[in-house]
A and B are shown apart, each in its own frame.
Chain A
Amino acid sequence: MGAVTYPDEKAARFIDLNFIPVQMPVTNAELMAKYVVKWTPTLLVLDGEGREHYRAVGFFTPDELIASFMVGKGHWYLDNEQFTEAKAMFEEVQAIYPESEATAEAIFFNGVNLYKMTHDPKVLRAAHDVLVAKFPKSMWTKQAAHYRLINK
């Protein structure tokens, strides 16, 4: 990550605009234990109280890092009940990175987010249908499978 992804101009700009970046070496046993980190790189999205909202493990290319952590920031908005901001973030991932695996997660959670906004179960069915069409093999499509029972 330090050799390829973080020096990338686009990735650096994305992180700078969207997050307060913190790096911690694995020698920090206290934080490794607190967040149950067993492998590197592990990246977490936290709030000001230190609560975890999103986690990713492993190497990311610059574009996959951006796509994944757009979803991570969407989760942070969703958890904070900032549904309008979450919707914008999840939809931006879909627009910019339509082929990314992170986009399948964005579609799933945008369905959840829209349900929180509207209390209309049809938005969950719509999310399911988009997942089936665009990401038929994704785990997010499997996890949305029961939404197919909702009437359109």
Chain B
Amino acid sequence: MSIKICWLDDLAKAQEVARRTHRPILLDFFNPN
């Protein structure tokens, strides 16, 4: 079964998850154009 990255778009929410789960965040800045 293929896997797709479930990107979050809310860094504050990701930080809360990171604190709770003790996992690092991968933050990707991208140019949508």
Q: How many whole Å from A62's CB to the nearest CB in chain B? A: 12
| Contact B5–A15 (Cβ < 8 Å) | yes
Please give the residue numbers on chain A whose beta carbons come within 8 Å of chain B beta carbons, in ascending order. Answer: 1-2, 6-7, 9, 12-13, 15-16, 18-28, 31-32, 35, 37, 40-50, 53, 69, 72-73, 76
Give 21 CB contacts A-B under 8 Å.
Answer: A12-B5, A18-B23, A19-B24, A19-B25, A20-B17, A20-B23, A20-B26, A21-B28, A23-B9, A23-B27, A23-B30, A26-B29, A26-B32, A31-B11, A31-B29, A32-B29, A41-B29, A42-B28, A45-B25, A47-B18, A69-B26
Q: Is the interface of B mostly helix, strand, loop or mixed?
A: mixed
Q: Report how far A50 CA is from B32 CA in the complex, Å.
A: 23
B23 contacts which chain A residues (CB < 8 A)? 18-20
Chain B interface residues toward A at CB < 8 A: 2-11, 14-32
